[in-house]
Amino acid sequence: MKYVNGGICAPKGFKANGVHCGIRKNRLKRDLSLIYSEKLCSASAVYTTNLVKGAPLILNKKYLENGYAQAIICNSGNANTCNANGLEIAETTSKLLASELNLNPSDVLVASTGVIGQPLDIEPIKKGIPELVSGLSTSGSDFAAEGIMTTDTVKKEVAVEFTVGNKTCTIAGIAKGSGMIHPNMATMLVFITTDANISPKMLDVALKTDIQNTFNMLSVDGDTSTNDMVTVLANGMADNDLIDDYGEDFNAFMKALNTVNVYLSRQIVGDGEGATKLLECVVTGAKTLEDAKKSAKSVICSSLFKAAMFGADANWGRVLCAIGYSGANVDVSKIDVSFKSKKGTINVCKNGSSVPFSEEIAKEILLANEIDILVDLNDGEYNATAWGCDLTYDYVKINGDYRT
């Protein structure tokens, strides 16, 4: 397996584009993106668990009942959520794009992100679709990645090659996500493309299995969004034997999918609103996988701990505190904690109690932009990893005037 260039257009048969259609006031910011496959794709998606859902999600669930799709269109700057005519707008968007691409409307998935509860006008989207389609390109991943960004400060994209049987396949993804990130599932937008030949059933199994250990294990601010999802399209153009059951080929696909999802998960939390540090909490020695997951995610969700990391304060008591209320079945008298970064590693807790350590060295380690929180529960064989970011003054500033 190796990383390659090209983003979501790296897999065979995929093109993409992103344009400014007029939803955003700033004409320099793209606000409409398109991903298109030359062939009909096996398709799967997972959605936010928020009871308040954007209209596109309702439409996509209906469209994906047959397990196939061929294009994804996404607007940014104004979420199609809590709009009285939201479903009509989503359906119209799919019909307009389908007409331009000569597709069945049910093969066009729709996504939307931005301010919630603000009326969304279909006219900019209608006017932008012809330019969006005419500019489709195998080098269009960057434009598409820009077009889905909201408070993101960097584009998030990745592509990797892997082997299934004797065929080289490629899987790739772009993502947006910076705030309102607390998945279960999904609270961000992630679009994944692959030329691997895999059935809709097994693609669905792969996606829904992998997100449990990737996108469901990250958090920026504890707020679960309303309109976001993770979607994967597989057009089969790598010509590998169809993956329609468990086995070696499915395992190879799962490994590649996991590589893409972990990469994008880290990019999302690393670009958390106002964040200066990416936090990775690795929990080992748990009695069960659920205990490991609960412990790891509780640590990276703790506002107190996130604030301590912003200040490079080795306040390890906040790690134990978060584990203590996580609901995990742990023996707190066995817990060891260490902090690690490119500047070194320091042990700060042994058997649930303090150990002598240099505050100066600890601070130097915690001043790095990527911090590992290593927790050993010393009580079993299960491990889990969760990702988060620090909590800064800028997070409040960004969200204090988000609409204005």
Active-site residues, by number, are 187
Q: Which of 348, 229, 228, 372 is nearest to 300 (CA)?
A: 372
Whose structure tokens read 């082997």?
163
CA pair distance 79, 120, nearest whole angstrom: 7
Strand order in the sheet with 370-376: 353-354, 344-350, 336-341, 370-376, 278-286, 382-389
Task: Please name the residue ranges forming H helices in 247-367.
Answer: 248-270, 289-301, 303-310, 317-324, 359-366
Residue 84 burial by Cβ neighbours in a 10 Å radius (0-12, 13-18, 19+): exposed
- Radius of gyration from C-alpha coordinates of the chain: 22
Q: Mind giving me the DSSP string for 99-119?
A: HHHT--GGGEEEEE-SBTTS-
The C-alpha atoms of residue 310 and residue 314 are separated, in whole angstroms, by: 10
Joined tokens for residue 138: 């195998």
